[in-house]
Structure 1
Amino acid sequence: MARPRGTPSTGRHRIEMSLRPDKASRQVTFSKRRSGLFKKCSELSLVCGADVVCIVFSEAGNLFALGSPSVDAVLRRYAPLHAADDDDAGVDDDREALEEMCREREAAAEQVAAESARMDLIGDEVVKAQGGRRFWWETDTEALGEAELPEFARALGRLRDNVSRHVNKLARRAPAPATAAVARAEDPASRLDLLA
């Protein structure tokens, strides 16, 4: 939207630094300023490689914190209350937690690989049971084992749902069907019945 000619632009101007009298206005200002402060802190950390912690308490007493690499790591590193061996203990705890997360990730990857292999075997069994039939849903269910039948049933359910959705979509696109009276009037056999 263009500004009418002759009206001056407010542009960027300095806002008076004073307490906002309206609580809603104060809350909005707090949120905007807090996000701007956190953005500046993260940029400072990224550009300069500095360890940064920013802790802000709202008027309601809520705590908002940002830290790079993390608030706990920076506070442990720079807090004068902790001795040097406390820092080493914290690093060891962090290392143990990281190693535990890596073990959990590897276990999850193994489970995914095992499930993928199981599904491949089930697919192979279904193809074998298909026995030269043209479509996979024509598979001989007697040839399937206990592991394959539940998967086959779920696949059939998904196929039924997809076909149902497709039929509904086609039905919405189709023109409105002719009424029965119009259809009977156009049918030559029904005309003969009317004459008789």
Structure 2
Amino acid sequence: MVRPTTSTGRHRIEMRLIEDKSKRQVTFSKRRPTLFKACSHLSLDFPGARVAAVVFSEAGKLFSIGCPSVEAVLQLNDDSDDAAAAAAAVDLEALEELRGTKEAAAKQVADKMEQMKAVGKKVVEAQAGRRFWWEADTEMLGAAELPEFKRALRRIRDNMSRHVDKLARRPPPPPPIASHAALY
């Protein structure tokens, strides 16, 4: 038996004023970050593009985003346009430098992940039939694996120490209440 769907799924909604003020505020607060994210992506995807978005809430609050800045984008006269272009060029240089830094950091993270995978593989090989990883044969571990293994063991020791301290700070449980039958 085919059951009719109750969900309307994704569909277009009619663009009109939302009558309920609280629903309108919720919609505004949900859509504003998405709009600003789209503006940010535009400025990143098209270097040199001048993007600005200015939004007023119903309460009169101003929300804005701009690249290189809202002021630079909104300046319309030609003599200040050269200054805005120079500011945009400086911003592009800074943006390129940040992109380079991000790519270098991503490469370092990827390299470290590969190194940690290799260490983990070596520890698994050194475990060879033992039940727990910390029982691994340290003679099989190399110079690269031993410091990581030592750090992991220290983390276990510190966690155990914190757990023991936490248990030691607990008040002792109350003594059991004797039943009337045991008293006679």
The residue aligned with 2:140 is 143
Query: 1:167 maps to which residue?
Result: 164
- SS across alignment from 2:169: helix
**Per-residue deviation, 1:93:** 1.9
**Residue type of the partner of 1:46?**
V
The alignment of Structure 1 onto Structure 2 pairs a total of residues equal to 119
Alpha-carbon offset, residue 169 of structure 1: 2.4
Equivalent residue in structure 2 for 1:45, among 32, 51, 54: 54
Q: Equivalent of 1:104, from 89, 98, 101? A: 101
The 1:114–1:169 alpha-carbon spacing in structure 2 relative to 1, beyond 3 Å, is same
Aligned with 1:88 (options 79, 82, 85): 85
Unaligned runs of at least 5 residues, structure 1:
1-43, 54-65, 177-196
Whether the 8 Å contact between 2:119 and 2:144 is mirrored in structure 1 is yes
Q: Following TM superposition, by how much is the alpha carbon of 1:146 offset from its aligned partner in structure 2, in angstroms?
A: 0.5
Q: Deviations over 1:153-188 (max 9, x none)?
A: 111101111111222223334638xxxxxxxxxxxx
Aligned-pair identity in percent equals 48
Q: How does 1:39-78 map to 2 (within 5 A)?
A: 45-47=54-56, 68-69=65-66, 74-75=71-72, 78=75
Tell me which residue corresponds to 1:28.
Answer: none
Report the more deviating stretch, 116-125 or 167-176. 167-176
Superposed counterparts of 1:6-17, under 5 Å: none
Deviations 1:62-104 (A, max 9, x none): xxxx974279551575286944333322222222221221121
Secondary structure (helix, strand or coil) at the match of 1:134 reads coil
Q: So what's the TM-score if we normalise by structure 1? A: 0.50
**Cα gap change, 1:121/1:98 in structure 2, threshold over 3 Å: closer, same or farther?**
same
Match of 1:15 in 2: none
Name 1:120's counterpart in structure 2: 117
Q: Does 1 or 2 have the higher relative contact order (CA < 8 Å, sep 6+)?
A: 2
Question: 2:101 is matched by which residue type in structure 1?
Answer: E
User: Which secondary structure state, in structure 2, belongs to the residue aligned with residue 46 of structure 1?
Assistant: strand
The answer for the alignment partner of 1:26 in structure 2 is none
Change (3 A) 1:75 1:67: farther
Aligned counterparts of 1:67 and 1:122: Cα–Cα separation in 2: 48
Equivalent residues of 1:68, 1:74 under 8 A apart: no
Matches within 5 A, 1:154-193: 154-173=151-170, 175=172
Rounded to whole Å, the distance in 1 between the matches of 2:155 and 2:80 is 61
**Residue 127 of structure 2 contacts residue 133 of structure 2 at CA under 8 Å; is this kept in 1?**
yes
